[in-house]
Amino acid sequence: MVSEIAANPSTGEPEWIELADRSGTKTNLVGWTVDDGTTRRRLDSTAVLPASGRLVVAGDCERLASWYGTSSIPCAKPSAWNALAVGSDRVVLRDVDGAVCDSIEWNDASWGDWPKGRSLERVDLARTGNDPANWIATSSPLGGTPGWEGTPALEPKGAGIRLEMLSRKVVPGQPRALVRIHAPWDLHLKAELFDLSRRRAATLHDGRIPASGELVWNGAHDGKPVLPGAYMLLVEIGSGSKDVQARSREWIVVTK
């Protein structure tokens, strides 16, 4: 199933399509095609969709890795790339027999203007079809969240909680304030870092919100520097682990 689409014909960002598995079974997509309803582009030998995971399809995987600052994004190249139009276009995913597995079609009239420099991500993977309400712009300043489930914004249950991103790049050994937390001082803050395989890479904070109101991290976990790459920062705020009042997922890039 198509889970995210980045169409950026005039902003300089690489274009790509993200596929997500809902079956819980690894799927070899070699011989599958992606098309716009006319010209079919066949996926190459690197096209393997992990069980319950995601795979990015892009015309230039190397440029995609460079743009996001990591080589760990699972990416497959089609035989050629059909440029994605933001005004009106279509993406069709077909299996080796040519059967349509997913089809997304958008246009300005029903979807509105494409968010400049952003991707659109499917909110509920169980809902198929072209419902524009099921597609939202991601909040990542890099243009999207390829290989990872993104989030449009903070998901608050309580009032008076807001996060302000201060920086998205960290160099190990150089402490940097990543997030400013606007919330009651006595709430609990848990911040964890996950890689693209959804493995926990670091715990940045697990306790009361810092007196400074800022989440500062030095790029290390258990005294060892975290490997360079793109990570997902999960921030949860509440009165405890069983009472999360607000949750947000944001991109962080660790560089050398």
In a domain? residue 144: no
In a shared domain, residues 97 and 184:
no
Lowest mean pLDDT among 95-109, 205-219, 242-256: 242-256
| Residue carrying structure tokens 């991109």 | 251
CATH assignment at residue 99: 2.60.40.1260
The answer to whether residue 101 is domain-embedded is yes
With 0-12 CB in 10 A as exposed, 13-18 as middle and 19+ as buried, what is 40? middle
Residues 213 and 126 in one domain: no
**CA pair distance 236, 217, nearest whole angstrom:** 16
- Is 114 found in the same domain as 25? yes
Residue 142 domain-assigned?
A: no
pLDDT at 198: 75
Which one of 137, 166, 201 terminates a domain?
Answer: 137
Whether residue 160 sits in one domain with residue 133: no
If one counts every other C-beta atom within 10 angstroms of the C-beta of residue 98, the result is 9
187 in any annotated domain: yes
Note the pLDDT tens digit of each residue in 125-146.
888 878 887 887 776 667 788 8
159 vs 211, more confident? 211
Q: Are residues 196 and 227 in the same domain?
A: yes
- Contact between 249 and 234 (Cβ < 8 Å): yes
Given this model, what pLDDT does residue 152 score?
Answer: 47
Lowest mean pLDDT among 3-12, 16-25, 152-161, 165-174: 152-161
Predicted confidence (pLDDT) at residue 21 exceeds the cutoff of 50:
yes
Instruction: Let me know if residue 247 belongs to a domain.
Output: yes
The predicted-structure confidence for 49-85, as pLDDT tens digits, reads as follows 988 889 999 999 998 888 877 777 899 999 998 889 8
The reply to whether 99 and 164 lie within a common domain is no
Residues 81 and 177 in one domain: no
Contact (CB, 8 A) for 140 and 150 = yes
Digit-coded pLDDT (tens) for 2-16: 999 998 766 678 899
What is the CATH classification number for the domain harbouring 243?
2.60.40.1080
For tokens 């169409």, the residue is 7
In a domain, 83, yes or no: yes
Indicate if 6 and 132 belong to the same structural domain: yes
- 19: exposed, middle or buried (C-beta count within 10 Å: 0-12, 13-18, 19+)? buried
- Do 119 and 174 have their domain in common? no
- β-sheet with 176-182: strand ranges across: 162-165, 176-182, 214-217
Residue with the larger pLDDT of the pair 202 and 256: 202
Q: Are both 95 and 130 inside the same structural domain?
A: yes
Mean pLDDT of the chain: 85
Q: Examine residue 148 and state whether it is found in any structural domain, yes or no.
A: no
- As for how many domains the chain has, the answer is 2
Span 233-242, average pLDDT: 82
Give the side-chain half-sphere CA count within 13 A for 64: 24
